[in-house]
Amino acid sequence: MYSLKIAVRRTLMAAGDAVGDGSRAWDKERVMIITSIRMTVPQEKRQELLQTINTLASSMRKERGCRACDFYMDIEHADTFLLIEEWDAEEDFDRHIRSTAFSALLGALTLLNERPDVRINAVSGTAGMEKIKAVRAA
């Protein structure tokens, strides 16, 4: 068995980047938390983990501050999965970490043979297509 270490990485966006039309590209109202957990699941434990994550994701989506909770399978490596969560604010994510759903997720991760790659990103700004258009037009 392995111990789970969580890496925290802050993503800071440049303040006031213009999109070309005078508006700001970054919404800097508050810090959003985006987490990712990449895991390799042994074949014999895949069904159990998939059922558990499916149930947990449904529950997590109902938690206050959860913008999204999605689970993906790597199309090139069928044993590799990615769980992505988006939280409105750090306090929402902190509440989630203390929840029974998160405790169950940690329990499910013990089914893995390898340590999952866990990343927690504090995002202070986001942009969409307007940023892409502005950069391509520059």
The per-residue pLDDT for range 51-90, each reduced to its tens digit, is 999 999 999 999 999 999 999 999 999 899 999 999 999 9
Higher pLDDT, 5 or 57: 57
CA–CA distance, 90 with 53 (Å, rounded to integer)? 22
pTM for the model stands at: 0.75
36: tokens are 């990712």
Q: Is 37 helix (H, G, I), strand (E, B) or coil?
A: strand
**Looking at the predicted structure, is the pLDDT value of residue 2 above 70?**
no
The continuous run of DSSP H or E covering 119 comes out as strand 117-123
CA–CA distance, 9 with 74 (Å, rounded to integer)? 23
CATH of the domain spanning 7-137: 3.30.70.100
Non-local CB neighbours of 86 within 8 Å, separated by 6+ positions:
32, 33, 34, 66, 67, 68, 69
In this prediction, residue 29 carries a pLDDT of 56
105: tokens are 């997720």
Q: Which of 121, 112, 122 is nearest to 4 (CA)?
A: 112
**Any bridge partners for residue 91, and if so which?**
none
Non-local CB neighbours of 99 within 8 Å, separated by 6+ positions:
63
